Structure 1
Amino acid sequence: MRFTPAAIALSMLAAVTSSAVIGADYEPDQRAAALIAEGHAQLEAGDTQAAIDSFEAALTIDPGYTPIYLNLAEAARRENLQGKAIHYYRAAQERDPENIAAISGEGEALAEKGAMESARRNLTRLEELCGNSCEEATQLAAAIDRGPIQPVITAEAISSDSGVTQN
């Protein structure tokens, strides 16, 4: 009984200290940071697959660093792999549920894929978090207005007309 006030005080101190540590900015591992920088350079150079490889290697080194998921999602979108991008955006949101970039990116990928109702839900969520005028909300609204990406049709995908005869 006589240790109860001291125990309560120590537990409160531990709770305050631990929450301050949790809220601190997370710095990536140095090796992962180098791979992320390399991936950004490759992405800017147009080598999307090499950028994806660099980002995946960085993710292997430091799986707790949320921006890697956002980088992977952006690279996947540039490869027109919206489903894969949505997966990465959702992984980022699992780690940080109010990550505005992840919510916006997922909404844009959903709009590009044609899931307009889901994209509008993301827009509503963004507007609740940052308002109508934040950059992410305006980008998502523009993506919804553009609509889905039209798939590229190759010559092999078009069947030939069997009515053609040889003379």
Structure 2
Amino acid sequence: MRLTPVALSVAIAVATMASAGHSQRADDQINPKSLALLKEGQSLTAAARYVEATDALETALAVDPRNRAAYVALAKVAQGQKLPGKATKLYAEALKLEPNDVGALAGQGEAMVERGAVERAKRNLERIKTLCKEPCPQATTLAAAIAKGPPAEVVTAQAATKVPEIKN
């Protein structure tokens, strides 16, 4: 009689845990609808149809928020639209899902260079070199972007925003 409530509680807990684990998908299984929308977004990006590409890619993320490739594709759209700040944030979202994604690290580094954050891009380059045991194309591409430096308008804007030093 005293054990009935305890036994009932244990049975409910076991049933709940079993059903919760059964209904979840593995992390590496992305929803096929999300993958189809990703491909559509990538083809629209290649055609420089950025608004439609953004719509398709955002829908892909709504269908499956674990679709890291959709974040990367959205970041490339943002770079195509000359929005490196937005691209940097989108690459960061992809890196939250997979911190060792060399492509996302390189893309984020390139976007950082476009914003003028060359030192932060160099940190990404060092991380890529650590992850790639042998020379990899992402490291080469990012190193070239760092060597080229930020666009002239970014350098000019940064110089204009510096506060002059006051001498007493």
For structure 1, the residue ranges without an aligned partner over 5 or more in a row are: 1-17, 153-167
SS in 2 for 1:148: coil
Q: How many Å separate the matches in 1 of 2:57 and 2:152?
A: 27
CA-based RMSD:
2.2
Task: Say whether the 8 Å CA contact 2:27–2:66 is kept in structure 1.
Answer: no
Show structure 1 runs of 4+ deviating over 6 A: none
2:132 paired residue number: 130
- SS of 1:64's equivalent in the other structure is coil
- Provide the rounded CA distance (Å) in 1 between the counterparts of 2:101 and 2:44: 25
Question: 2:62 aligned with 1:60, yes or no?
Answer: yes
Q: Select the structure that is richer in helix.
A: 2
What is the CA–CA distance in structure 2 between the aligned matches of 1:38 and 1:50, rounded to whole Å?
A: 9
Structure 1 residue 132 displacement after superposition: 6.1
Alpha-carbon distance between aligned partners in 2 of 1:49 and 1:151, rounded to the nearest angstrom: 25
8 Å Cα contact 2:60/2:70 also seen in 1: yes
Cα displacement string for residues 54-109 of structure 1 (whole angstroms, at most 9, x for unaligned residues): 10111111001211111111111111111111101111111111111111111111
- Alignment of 1:112 onto 2:114: yes
Report the Cα offset of residue 28 of structure 1.
2.2
Q: CA deviation at 1:150?
A: 3.6
Contact 1:103/1:122, CA 8 A, preserved across alignment: yes
Structure 1: distance between partners of 2:136 and 2:45 = 25
Aligned to 2:162: none
- Consecutive unaligned residues of structure 2, counting only runs of 5 or more, are 1-20, 155-168
Letter in 1 for 2:74: L
Whether the 8 Å contact between 1:132 and 1:138 is mirrored in structure 2 is: no
Give the TM-score normalised by the residue count of structure 1: 0.72
